[in-house]
Amino acid sequence: MSEPIISFQDWLQTPPGQYLLDWERQQVSSAVTDIFGYHAIQLGVSDMDGLHSNRMPHRWLAEQSSDFQAPSQPAFVSDFCALPFPANCLDLVIMPHTLECSLDAHETLREVERVLVAEGRVVICGINPLSFWALRQARASLWVRLGLGRFLGQSYLPEAQEFIGYWRLRDWLRLLGFEIEVVRFGGYSPAVRTAKWLKRFAWMERWGARWWPIFGAMYMVVAVKKVRGLRLMGPAWKAKKVRAVNPVSASRQAHDATRRETDA
């Protein structure tokens, strides 16, 4: 029998999980620092405070279960498919592996589109199914099907509904009217289990980003919500003067009247 796949929250405490979290903290922090607005929320993964570098005055963390550590910002429990916010009210939504852990990824993404304002941003982190890490997971599943899972079927990645690749996610975002601004991949080391070996293969991050960028173990996407037909305008500082149609001066009118009398 193969080793059972652990939950995502437990997997984050393993060396590969910590490796992933360290990379995502850096990328998300860099991405949200200069995103301005008033209201921001992070959906899930309380271990990663993705909003700590953002300067919006109102920031929240939402979880689908009450079993999480108290973060620095206000937190509440909610169904991600039915967020307790009116439409068009949030400026930023961070989704660290939210779609992978959701029972309905499509509906979750549609709900995020609903609550975001026009030109609002969504930051999405996910595990790339086209990577060394996912390849090891697929190999373990193959050994299980062949009856060799007791010896070779040790799982590497956490439990998830489905790992969503970047190209698939890009299509979903475009259908909902989002425009992708930033895409970054990371995690090019082999699928080793110890922090010692992950550190030894850290040099592969630079080479992987250059030679096989789309095969990183994890990715981060920043997308902006676009509303068709919407035009952002500044304040009207000066009122435009309305010009009369075919204006006629008083002197011209008097000249025409004198000419008619002369002709008569």
The pLDDT tens digits for 185-229 are 999 988 888 999 999 998 888 888 888 888 999 999 999 999 876
Q: What is the CA radius of gyration of the chain?
A: 28
180 lies in some domain: yes
Distance in angstroms (rounded) separating the CA atoms of residues 252 and 256: 6
In a domain, 147, yes or no: yes
Residue 2 lies in a domain: no
Q: Which amino acid is at 40?
A: A
Q: Pick the closest to residue 21 from 49, 55, 40, 43 (CA basis).
A: 49
The answer, yes or no, to whether residue 140 has pLDDT greater than 80, is: no
Full domain range(s) for residue 105: 8-263
Tell whether 95 is covered by a domain: yes
Domain assignment present for residue 25? The answer is yes
Looking at residue 180, which CATH number applies to its domain? Answer: 3.40.50.150
> How many structural domains does the chain have?
1
pLDDT tens by residue, 143-179: 455 444 444 446 778 877 788 999 999 999 999 999 9
First to last CA, the chain: 118
Query: Quick check: is 249 in a domain?
Result: yes
Mean pLDDT of the chain: 83
- Is residue 101 a part of any domain in this protein? yes
Tell me, yes or no, whether 47 lies in a domain. yes
Q: Quote the tokens at residue 47.
A: 């271990």
